[in-house]
A and B are shown apart, each in its own frame.
Chain A
Amino acid sequence: MTQEHEDPKFDQWLKDATAKSYHSPLPTPREEMWKRIEAARQNKRVIELRPWLRWALAAAAVLVLGIGIGRWSANQGSVPTAPTASGNRVANEIDSLANVAYQVAATQYLSRTEAFLTSFRADNRSVNTARLARQARNLLTTTQLMLDSPAADNPRLRSLLEDLELVLMQISLLNPVQDGHDRDLITQGMNQSNVLPKLRSAIPAGPVQVRTEGAL
């Protein structure tokens, strides 16, 4: 099907010009990427719940549910006949809502941190330092809250949060006068410690709202 705007000379010129000058790829950094892929996959295997951990979590959930039912029953005190099925349902729903809210908040925090660090590494020089430092401070506060939360009981997640705390602290302390060298050092540190691949492997697949202010 020939359309009126078709022009083989233009098409060929456009192909050549684009191939030559638009986002021309560099040589593939095979080894660097492979090392990060291996590290991320290794990390992911460890963070994923192992069978014994699933059983431990299930036991903890039953315990929490038991406590919830106990408290609910105690509060009923003088009420002559407490509907047990309804009590179970209420306690269960509260527990499950808290769990979902916690997971959503944690996932949003990790996604937002990932977007921030990806952007920091890609932009490097073009974003102003004061803004970067302010964003890093906001995320740093959340990171420290996460470190004090049950999330930090998982040793791998704790290690990731500690890496993030260090990177965010460095960015929050960037000096606007001589930040070029400091930014390079932070980027090098991030690459060496594989922070971004580890962070990505800790984020569950699927769409996530990126904004987190007020979520935690």
Chain B
Amino acid sequence: MDESQLIARVRAGDSAAERALYDAHVDRVYRLAFRLAGDDALAQDFTQETFIRAFDRLGSFRDAAFSTWLHTITTTVVLNGLRKVKRFRQREADIDDAHDIGVAQRHAEPDLKARLKQAIDALPEGYRTVFLMHDVEGYTHEEIGVVLGVETGTSKAQLSRARAKLRVALADFAGEWVQ
């Protein structure tokens, strides 16, 4: 059965078709959520929220690629969710333990893994999202453009700027990639 038939069956209320559609897409949705969130509990929450919204709104899905439509919902859910959690943590940190933040920063280890994480986390949200989607999860610039609602050229430019920033931030490790 092809995907459009599956979608038609989901719209008709077939729960087995819902499960089949979920099985076909859940791995990629969860992977993207995990890459962006970096936490299993959050990635699970975002994946669940994505499918709940997708099934609720399937009536409004028209003629596009289902996968692209689903990943548009995924990035919206993940980026909004991360902003919400970040605001919440920031506000609480501002209120009562700015001291702890200072301590945590001083303990950062200068190894590649930690430096890479620090550098990627420091990228502006748009650059980071495009970099992870394109270079790590293998989305094309066309897909990214549709999913994030930007021009393909914008996606390419953001990737280029993200790599440039990371190259500067990771200059200490130049020996590794020159080899």
Residues of chain A from 202 to 216 with CB closer than 8 A to chain B in the complex: 205, 210
> Which among A3, A13, A200 is the interface contact of B177 at CB below 8 angstroms?
A13
B88: nearest residue on chain A (CB-CB)? A115
A205 to B178, CA, bound (A): 49
> Which among A17, A41, A121, A131 is the interface contact of B97 at CB below 8 angstroms?
A131
Residues of chain A from 1 to 53 with CB closer than 8 A to chain B in the complex: 1, 3, 5-7, 9-15, 17-19, 21-23, 25-26, 28-30, 32-34, 36-37, 40-41, 44
CB-defined contacts of A210 to chain B, threshold 8 Å: 84, 87-88
CB-defined contacts of A10 to chain B, threshold 8 Å: 163, 167, 177
A17 to B176, CA, bound (A): 10
Main secondary structure of the interface of B (DSSP, over half): helix
- Whether A9 and B48, one on each chain, are in contact in the complex, defined by CB atoms closer than 8 angstroms, is no
Chain-A contact segment, one of B4-12, B26-34, B62-70, B142-150: B26-34
- Whether A33 and B48, one on each chain, are in contact in the complex, defined by CB atoms closer than 8 angstroms, is yes
> Which among A11, A37, A118 is the interface contact of B52 at CB below 8 angstroms?
A37
Tell yes or no: B96 within 8 A of A by CB: yes
CB-defined contacts of B120 to chain A, threshold 8 Å: 18, 22
- Whether B136 and A131, one on each chain, are in contact in the complex, defined by CB atoms closer than 8 angstroms, is no
A14 to B47, CA, bound (A): 27
What 1/0 mask marks residues of chain A from 133 to 149 whose CB sits below 8 Å from any chain B CB? 00100000000000000
- Whether A22 and B45, one on each chain, are in contact in the complex, defined by CB atoms closer than 8 angstroms, is no
- Whether B113 and A14, one on each chain, are in contact in the complex, defined by CB atoms closer than 8 angstroms, is no
Q: Give the total of B residues in contact with A, Cβ under 8 Å.
A: 56
CB-defined contacts of B116 to chain A, threshold 8 Å: 17-18, 21-22
A205: nearest residue on chain B (CB-CB)? B53
Tell yes or no: A116 within 8 A of B by CB: yes
CB-defined contacts of B55 to chain A, threshold 8 Å: 37, 41
> Which among B27, B132, B167, B178 is the interface contact of A28 at CB below 8 angstroms?
B27
Q: Give the total of A residues in contact with B, Cβ under 8 Å.
A: 48
A15 and B135 in contact (CB under 8 A), knowing A118-B85, A119-B89, A196-B45? yes
> Which among A14, A34, A127 is the interface contact of B19 at CB below 8 angstroms?
A34
Tell yes or no: A86 within 8 A of B by CB: no
Min CB distance B63 to A, Å, is 23
- Whether B44 and A5, one on each chain, are in contact in the complex, defined by CB atoms closer than 8 angstroms, is no
CB-defined contacts of A7 to chain B, threshold 8 Å: 167, 177
- Whether B136 and A22, one on each chain, are in contact in the complex, defined by CB atoms closer than 8 angstroms, is yes
> Which among A5, A9, A30, A131 is the interface contact of B92 at CB below 8 angstroms?
A131
Tell yes or no: B108 within 8 A of A by CB: no
Min CB distance B94 to A, Å, is 12
- Whether B52 and A41, one on each chain, are in contact in the complex, defined by CB atoms closer than 8 angstroms, is yes
A28 to B136, CA, bound (A): 17
- Whether A36 and B48, one on each chain, are in contact in the complex, defined by CB atoms closer than 8 angstroms, is yes
- Whether A200 and B44, one on each chain, are in contact in the complex, defined by CB atoms closer than 8 angstroms, is no
> Which among A9, A22, A122, A200 is the interface contact of B117 at CB below 8 angstroms?
A22
- Whether B160 and A197, one on each chain, are in contact in the complex, defined by CB atoms closer than 8 angstroms, is no
A-B contacts, 7 listed (Cβ < 8 Å): A5-B167, A14-B163, A18-B135, A118-B42, A118-B45, A122-B42, A196-B45
B-binding residues in A (CB < 8 A): 1, 3, 5-7, 9-15, 17-19, 21-23, 25-26, 28-30, 32-34, 36-37, 40-41, 44, 115-116, 118-119, 121-123, 127-128, 131, 135, 196-197, 200-201, 205, 210
A-binding residues in B (CB < 8 A): 19, 22-23, 26-27, 30-31, 34-45, 47-49, 51-53, 55-56, 81, 84-85, 87-89, 92, 96-97, 100, 112-113, 116-117, 120, 131-132, 135-136, 156, 160, 163-164, 166-167, 170, 176-178
